[in-house]
Amino acid sequence: MAKEKKLVESITSRDEDFAQWYTDVVREAELCDYSGVKGCLNYLPNGYAIWENIQADLDKRFKDTGVQNVYLPVLIPETLLQKEKDHIEGFAPEVAWVTKGGEENLAERFCIRPTSETLFCDVWSKTVQSHRDLPKVWNQWCSVLRWEKTTRPFLRSREFLWQEGHTIHATYEEAEQRTIQMLNVYKDFVEQDLAIPLVTGRKTESEKFAGAQDTYTIEALMHDGKALQSGTSHFFGNGFADAYGIQYLDKNNELHSVYETSWGLSTRIIGAIIMVHGDDSGLVLPPRIAPIQTRIIPVAQHKEGVLEAANDLMDKLKAAGYRVAIDDSEKSPGWKFSEQEMLGIPTRVEIGPKDIEKNQAVIVRRDTREKIFVSLDEIDSKLQEVLDDVQKSLYEKAKAFLEDHISSATTMDEMNEKFNTKKGFIKAMWCGEEACEEEIKAQTGGATSRCIPEEQEQLADTCICCGKPAKHMVYWGKAY
């Protein structure tokens, strides 16, 4: 009994200390830990399995839109990086450099990729000649390195895993359409499969990606009221194309620049899953991306026939297509239940001697802990119904939380009061001047513009900060 109590007590309450709760869950669920390289993570099996499912789902969605996967080098020559000045200036503080090869000093420094726009542009500048070569719609799954000063598991680390899509097109309109298309791919994936509701829109000039003409974002709201930028899609226009000399001949044999996009989603989305759905008992994973959708727990497994029945049930559910495992260890049932909850497995199936007599099993939901008694003859279909309802319920709960934590303000006093008393997003009008963004950030203790939504509301005629005519309604929030 002492051990069963210890597992729950090892997690700090979310409302007592959210930052510590997050660290406790990452540690106790064995998702990742820090490596011997400061700021870099060891992705452990439980955490990496979540990323594998995210990768598999997104990869299919990408390919359904015509994306092809490639892989480019991890090293970028300094001369190549220098060609797009805004880009290198934006990343300069985070770049790590390789200066030696073996015992020899290199003639030119190489940066370890913080992102790969320059590499893709280099390839295309050498291979694209005609309109027949367009479009190029490529993506790579890889890691990147950014020399962050402050790190936190999944949310911000020096090396992290992601996908980075890069495309070039013959026309402005086609590239812009691809930019929005990929933003919507992210939105659909995060809302449908991760059960996380979002606020979406365009970044302000000061918040957009280095070298981009426009940056679009999906923003999620964590349980502590902070925003998390969860994926971005960038429209570059032809800035990169001109810098790298990417041109094509059209049907009339006339020379033109191409238009470029880039879009990415990283392992920080795992942090969003933890902080949106988790509770004081640990992880709560949406069934669609959970590495294990149900764990079978034999009760009184020392009694005749129990383990055999549990294994038969596992075989039946595996054959039906579920991701299923069995806990036939010698731990007590209570400990097994706590461990299943800690790991966020969406359901568990309990089966013991009395259940076998009644030809039934008990499905227990992770999110509500509701117990559902099901005939063994129907369990393969009933389990899907339960998993579907868990997926739906997680989204609806998170959606209600998001909607309850969006408010509006028309004066700075009102905005400050709301940021001090209520967590979440605040909608307010803005003149479009960077100086007002900085002033709002200073007055509110760190609130930044999260996005300019496509659907605008006219909350007032003037900017909340300076009183000049307003140009945009903006979502503001404190963020990770």
The model's confidence at residue 263, banded by pLDDT at 50, 70 and 90, is very high
Average pLDDT over residues 11-25: 96
Q: What is the mean pLDDT of residues 396-403?
A: 98
Chain-wide mean pLDDT for the chain? 95
**Across residues 224-228, what is the average pLDDT?**
97
The answer on pLDDT for 314 being more than 50 is yes
Q: Tell me the average pLDDT across 274-287.
A: 98
Checking if the pLDDT of 248 tops 80, the result is yes
Q: What single DSSP character describes residue 152? A: B
Nearest to 284 by CA among 350, 219, 195, 379: 195
**Tokens standing for residue 250:** 């059209």
For range 241-257, the mean pLDDT: 96
pLDDT of residue 449: 98
Q: What pLDDT shows up at residue 3?
A: 41
Q: What is the DSSP letter of 4?
A: H
Separation of alpha carbons 314 and 311, rounded Å = 5
Average pLDDT (320-333) is 96
The encoded tokens of residue 172 equal 């402005």
In this prediction, residue 117 carries a pLDDT of: 95
pTM of the model as a whole: 0.95
Residue 270 has pLDDT above 60, yes or no: yes
Contact 228, 266 (CB under 8 A): no
> Helix H segments across 193-305?
239-244, 268-277
Q: What percent of the chain has pLDDT over 90?
A: 94
What would the pLDDT profile of 192-213 be if each residue is shown by its tens digit? 999 999 999 999 999 999 889 9
The answer to whether residue 5 scores a pLDDT higher than 90 is no
Measured between alpha carbons, how far is residue 105 from residues 79, 94, 112 in Å? 17, 22, 16
- CB 351, CB 326: distance < 8 Å: no
Main-chain phi, psi angles of 98, to 5 degrees: -100, 120
334-385: per-residue pLDDT in tens? Answer: 999 999 999 999 999 999 999 999 999 999 999 999 999 999 999 999 999 9
Mean pLDDT over residues 442-457, rounded? 97
Angle at 155 between CA 267 and CA 70, to 5 degrees: 25
The pLDDT tens digits of the residues spanning 128-179 come to: 999 999 999 999 999 999 999 899 999 999 999 999 999 999 999 999 999 9
Nearest to 200 by CA among 212, 187, 209: 187
pLDDT at 4: 43
What is the rounded average pLDDT of the residues 33-52? 96
Number of C-beta neighbours around residue 154 at 10 A? 27
All structural domains of the chain: 43-146+164-277 (3.30.930.10), 294-385 (3.40.50.800), 406-477 (3.30.110.30)
Whose CA is closest to 190, among 233, 139, 140, 137? 233
* pLDDT over 80 (residue 309): yes
Residue 61 tokens read as 């969605």
Mean pLDDT of 253-278: 98
291: cis peptide before it, omega within 30°?
no
Question: In degrees rounded to 5, what are phi and psi of residue 431?
Answer: -80, -15
